[in-house]
Amino acid sequence: MSNAYLTYAAKRLGQAVVVILLAYVFTFVVVSILPGDPITSVLRNPQNGFSEEEIAEIIAAQGLDKPVLVQLWHALSGFVTGDLGMSMRSNRPVSTLIAEVLPSTLILAGAGLAVALLLAMLVAYGTRFVPKKYGQGLLRGFPSLFLSVPNFVIGLVLIHLFGFQLGLFRVINPDSFWATLFAAVALGIPVSSQIAEVLIANLDKEAEQEYAAVARSRGIGQLKLFVSHLLKPASLPVVTVIALTIGELLGGSLITETVFGRTGVGSLVQRSVSTQDLPVLQAIVSLGAVVFVLVNLIADLLYPLLDPRVKILGGSKRRPTTSDEPSIGSAKAVNP
Amino acid sequence: MTDRTTLLSLSRRRLLLSAAAVTATALVATAGLSPALAADSPKDGGDITFLIDSLGDTWIPNNSAISSFQGHVWGHVTDKLLYVDAEGKVSPWLVEKWEQNDNATEFTLHLKSGVTFSDGEPLDAKAVVANLDIWYAGRKNEGINPIGLFPKTYDRAEAIDASTVKVFFQKPTLGFIPTLGYHGSILISPKSIAQPASAQADLYKTAGSGPYVVESWKEGDHVTLTKRKDYNWGPAAVGHTGPAFLDTITYKLVSEPSLRVASVQSGQADVAYNASPQELKSLKDERFTVATPRYLGFVNGWAVNTKHAPYDDVKVRQALQAGINRQEIIDTVYTPDWHLATSFIQSNVPGATDQSALLAYDPAKAQKLLDEAGWVKGANGIRARDGKELVLTIHSNPYLATSKSVDELIAQQLGKLGWKVVIRAYDVVTYGEKIRFGGAAVPTYEVTRSFIDAGTVAGILTNANNGENWFALDDRDTKINDLRDKISGAGSFDERSPLLDDLQKYVLDQGYFIPRTQIVQRIYVQSPTLKGEVYNGVAYASYYTAFIAD
């Protein structure tokens, strides 16, 4: 590892910390501006029959009547020391709540990504090697189709078809293998479209390169050409797209989890938003920021290692010389 | 998956067997013998899954016991001192008998002996005192709230001996006894009560004395209960006191309503909670059990703000009362399982009287009243007075799914009379912040609330003793204040009943409260093989007595 590479990595890490802290403060401000809080919304449920005086007394006992800045300072100092606080809704530690739901979401997001990659690969392969008369044009339309069908629609169709009609899985046991697989399919289909789109475009570009023509002239098979010659160079930009789709996977998992009845981060977010459970929301938004920043950091750091043409240019003063080279962050490609 | 097929084929086999049994029984019957009705007698074993739309928020017993969702779990994990059935009848449970003094300020409770919590602690007089204290006061600085509907007149409770508790009130409190059967009044082990809020919020750490204990739970996902084999103190009123029949009950969260119902239809679950009223008829036709128990409480309706013009005019309020076609609401939005309102409290509440005459649909009368009040129909069909249109702004109640549909229908009905109706719908949080009884911009507040004793009603309606001042009357109406004082001072039910009748007549005649329908807030769709469940005074299903029939 070169010195420049390490400086670059350290700088990116510093930026990441700032982004996470800002995300934390931003969530606090946004949720504080909204009227209401989890404690009063429970107390105001007419079934409970509390009077306004009693509600005010309970609010004061919880410190929710203190100025917003005092509350922010309290939360922030806890966050920096690693204390995520207590959920106002459930009265349990935020870290416990997140630990309970995180594995389910990681499994779903991982499986969803795998489905998306596989699907994108198949569609991209098809667009190159399925003859025009057998619907190559149709295949090229798939990414747009995938993107335009909301994943809850896909989810509901899958549940009714495979869950209720064919009985492959039980809706009330969403963590079973089949239920997880179909949830991953529902989540993966829209995500695959972006990956497929980028892959198709790059395959088209690579296929026109001379090395591809040479390989073809040597009589190499279509599958072998795709796998051992075209796929690797065409998939470099895909790394960037995958890093960007992490956000979509996390966001999409919220809806997919609700539809399939899985208890993951998404369902925790949903419950916390509807009750304005500030400590939980702050922790989750910060966690989201951590994941997003980390994944993009990994992608950036991976890029120069994958493509020998990409060099770290160190300081920010130097500008890229051409615009069509692969570039992410401050890692720039330099033509050999 | 494979489990499912074997289950299905098993039940088919069972079906054949029972068909054979029926034939055999018929033969025996003709032979002059009288066999027992074996089909519906309870049998041990079996597991059920109850699909629910939410599992509420915190599990701190005081804060959550009243939640429409968590109440299901607490009803199986904990017991109460008294039992209140669907007709509001109070009967002994862990309190075997009780006495009160003449003016209902002192009560003596005699406890059943040998009752234990699931953590081994005895349920004795000391434990009851600890529970009464925390219901009344909570521990607010720790985040443990009082039980909102527990009488505010509570003074103290004393353990006289191991099985006798004496409870003192500052003022006459006839409502105390029925309150002991309310869903908030659940008995928790003193050890659990002593724990800090964060420990109480962990369902594993709370011990009750109920027929089931918590086997496993995951927040926002499920709670699985397993039966307590040594349970032997069920309420006599449900006809069974020993251990429960079903081995386990799983409350599983499925937030999508159609999935809940479809799962029961496809045999993947046993009970679906809160189905949409429109689906009920077809479900009944498919032979599913549909239950729409009513709770004890107010009917669904509006509390009118008497400070908000033009509803400060009694004639306008009376026109509103006569201008709503309540039968049409039931026919259009609901099913015949819903009942017409006969008062502003549900007709199954002891003390409720039939005031149907005051609630009859009479558009001619409504028109006449509005004419008299000076509201004249304009060219656009809307009535106006002094250049101001006759407007009613309704805020749909977010706690009741069908509220908006009812609002829309009423808007049509009132529209024919020349009323301009504006419907606003807010989410729960905004609604809680903005819409309050008697709020300056709130002409009518939609009520859905249960209570266990009609005596508390008068206190809620007015502003005395932290009352809620539903109609923004303050102290302006001496008649209602007089009735309130007499009702809360009544030392016996005989003395109180005629006063309650007067109150109902007066409130409806003045158009203070505009009933819509009797409320069904809990709808159950159940597999036909699950039988024997019991619904209590707050319309919760108890599966303590339930079993799976062949």
Of A128-137, A317-326, B301-310, B371-380, least confident by mean pLDDT is A317-326
The whole-number average pLDDT for the span A205-210 is 82
Are residues B148 and A160, on separate chains, in Cβ contact within 8 Å?
no
* Selected residue with higher pLDDT from A40 and A67: A67
pLDDT at B61: 92
Are residues A258 and B252, on separate chains, in Cβ contact within 8 Å?
no
Q: Tell how strand A310-312 and strand B212-218 pair up.
A: unpaired
Q: Is the dihedral of CA B437, B438, B440, B441 positive or negative?
A: positive
Q: CA of A260: which chain B residue's CA is closest?
A: B254
The whole-number average pLDDT for the span B340-367 is 94
Residue B445 to residue B393: CA distance in whole angstroms: 10
User: How near does any CA of chain A get to the CA of B372, in Å?
Assistant: 36
Res. A40: pLDDT tops 80:
no
Taking CB atoms and an 8 Å cutoff, what residues of chain A touch B67? Answer: 45, 47
Listing DSSP states for A49-115 in one string gives ---HHHHHHHHHHTTTTS-HHHHHHHHHHHHHTT---B-TTT-SBHHHHHHHHHHHHHHHHHHHHHH
Taking CB atoms and an 8 Å cutoff, what residues of chain A touch B262? Answer: 160, 164, 171
Residue B548 to residue B286: CA distance in whole angstroms: 19
User: How near does any CA of chain B get to the CA of A146, in Å?
Assistant: 24
pLDDT at A320: 40
Res. B18: pLDDT tops 50:
no
The whole-number average pLDDT for the span A160-180 is 82
Q: What is the pLDDT of residues B407-436, one digit of tens each?
A: 999 999 999 999 999 999 887 777 877 887
Residue A29 to residue A12: CA distance in whole angstroms: 26
Question: Is cis: bond before A320, omega within 30 of 0?
Answer: no
Give the number of A-B residue pairs with CB atoms closer than 8 Å.
Answer: 138
pLDDT at A333: 41
Using an 8 Å Cβ cutoff, are A325 and A306 in contact?
Answer: no
Q: Which of A35, A57, A91 sits opposite B198 (nearest CB)?
A: A91
Residue B51 to residue B272: CA distance in whole angstroms: 5
| Nearest by Cα to A103 from A241, A244, A239, A257 | A257
* Selected residue with higher pLDDT from B262 and B256: B262
Using an 8 Å Cβ cutoff, are A12 and A334 in contact?
Answer: no
CATH class of A101-312: mainly alpha
Residue A43 contacts B, CB cutoff 8 Å:
yes
Res. A328: pLDDT tops 80:
no
CB atoms within 10 A of CB B24: 11
Residue A33 contacts B, CB cutoff 8 Å:
no
Residue A254 to residue A328: CA distance in whole angstroms: 28
pLDDT at A216: 81
Q: What is the pLDDT of residues B393-411, one digit of tens each?
A: 999 988 788 899 999 999 9
Q: Which of B141, B259, B434 sits opposite A61 (nearest CB)?
A: B141
Res. A234: pLDDT tops 90:
no
Q: What is the pLDDT of residues B49-61, one digit of tens each?
A: 999 988 888 899 9
Segment of A213-217, A321-325, B449-453 carrying the highest mean pLDDT? A213-217
pLDDT at A45: 67
Q: CA of A266: which chain B residue's CA is closest?
A: B220
Select the residue from A172, A259, A267, A281 to test the B interface by mutation, using most B Cβ atoms within 10 A.
A172
The whole-number average pLDDT for the span B136-154 is 86
Are residues A38 and B57, on separate chains, in Cβ contact within 8 Å?
yes
Are residues B263 and A171, on separate chains, in Cβ contact within 8 Å?
yes
What percent of chain A lies above the pLDDT cut of 70? 88
Q: Tell how strand B513-517 and strand B300-304 pair up.
A: antiparallel
Confidence of residue B224 (pLDDT cuts 50, 70, 90): very high
Phi, psi of B319 (to 5 degrees): -65, -40
Q: Tell how strand B47-52 and strand B271-273 pair up.
A: parallel
Angle (CA) B57-B58-B63 rounded to 5° is: 110
Residue B504 to residue B507: CA distance in whole angstroms: 5
Q: What is the pLDDT of residues B76-93, one digit of tens each?
A: 999 999 999 988 889 999
Are residues B466 and A267, on separate chains, in Cβ contact within 8 Å?
no
User: How near does any CA of chain A get to the CA of B185, in Å?
Assistant: 12
Res. A39: pLDDT tops 90:
no
Which A residues, 92 through 121, put their C-beta within 8 Å of a C-beta on chain B?
92-93, 97, 100-101
Residue B58 to residue B217: CA distance in whole angstroms: 13
Res. A334: pLDDT tops 60:
no
Chain mean position to CA B502: 25
Are residues A49 and B449, on separate chains, in Cβ contact within 8 Å?
yes
Of A230-234, B346-350, B512-516, least confident by mean pLDDT is A230-234
Res. B390: pLDDT tops 90:
yes
- H helices present in chain A, as ranges: 3-33, 38-43, 52-61, 68-80, 94-129, 136-148, 151-158, 177-207, 210-217, 222-224, 231-260, 265-275, 278-306
pTM over 0.90? The answer is no
Residue A161 to residue A178: CA distance in whole angstroms: 13
Are residues A34 and B148, on separate chains, in Cβ contact within 8 Å?
no
pLDDT at A129: 76
Helix (H, G, I), strand (E, B) or coil at B220: coil
pLDDT at B399: 79
Q: Which of B145, B254, B468 sits opposite A51 (nearest CB)?
A: B468
Q: What is the pLDDT of residues A308-327, one digit of tens each?
A: 676 655 444 333 443 344 44
B108: left (phi over 0), alpha (psi -120 to 50) or beta: beta
What residue type is assigned to position B410 of the chain?
I
The whole-number average pLDDT for the span A264-284 is 85
**What DSSP state is assigned to residue B299?**
P
Residue A63 contacts B, CB cutoff 8 Å:
no
What residue type is assigned to position A194 of the chain?
Q
Q: Tell how strand B95-100 and strand B82-84 pair up.
A: unpaired
The CA distances from residue B53 to B256, B257, B275, B515, in Å, are: 7, 7, 10, 27
Q: Which of B141, B202, B399 sits opposite A45 (nearest CB)?
A: B399
Query: Greatest CA span in chain A, whole angstroms?
Result: 86
Residue B80 to residue B537: CA distance in whole angstroms: 13
What percent of chain B lies above the pLDDT cut of 90? 61
Residue A298 to residue B322: CA distance in whole angstroms: 70
The whole-number average pLDDT for the span B204-225 is 94
Domain ranges of chain A: 3-94, 101-312
Are residues A91 and B58, on separate chains, in Cβ contact within 8 Å?
yes
Taking CB atoms and an 8 Å cutoff, what residues of chain A touch B466? Answer: 51, 53-54
What are the residues whose beta carbons fall under 8 Å from the beta carbon of A204, sequence distance 6 or more? none
Select the residue from B47, B57, B136, B255 to test the A interface by mutation, using most A Cβ atoms within 10 A.
B57
pLDDT at A330: 41
Q: Which residue has the tokens 């496993």?
A: B216
Both structure tokens of A33? 């501006």
Q: Is the dihedral of CA B517, B518, B519, B523 positive or negative?
A: negative
Taking CB atoms and an 8 Å cutoff, what residues of chain A touch B255? Answer: 258, 261
Residue B516 to residue B394: CA distance in whole angstroms: 13
Helix (H, G, I), strand (E, B) or coil at A168: coil
Phi, psi of B136 (to 5 degrees): -70, -45
User: How near does any CA of chain A get to the CA of B498, in Å?
Assistant: 26
Res. A286: pLDDT tops 80:
yes
Using an 8 Å Cβ cutoff, are B105 and B169 in contact?
Answer: yes
Residue A180 contacts B, CB cutoff 8 Å:
no
The whole-number average pLDDT for the span B264-269 is 90
**What DSSP state is assigned to residue B294?**
P
* Selected residue with higher pLDDT from A34 and B473: B473
Are residues A89 and B58, on separate chains, in Cβ contact within 8 Å?
yes
Phi, psi of B450 (to 5 degrees): -95, 155
User: How near does any CA of chain B get to the CA of A59, in Å?
Assistant: 9
> How many residues are recorded in chain B?
550
Both structure tokens of B305? 């703000």
What residue type is assigned to position B482 of the chain?
D
| Mean per-residue pLDDT of chain B | 87
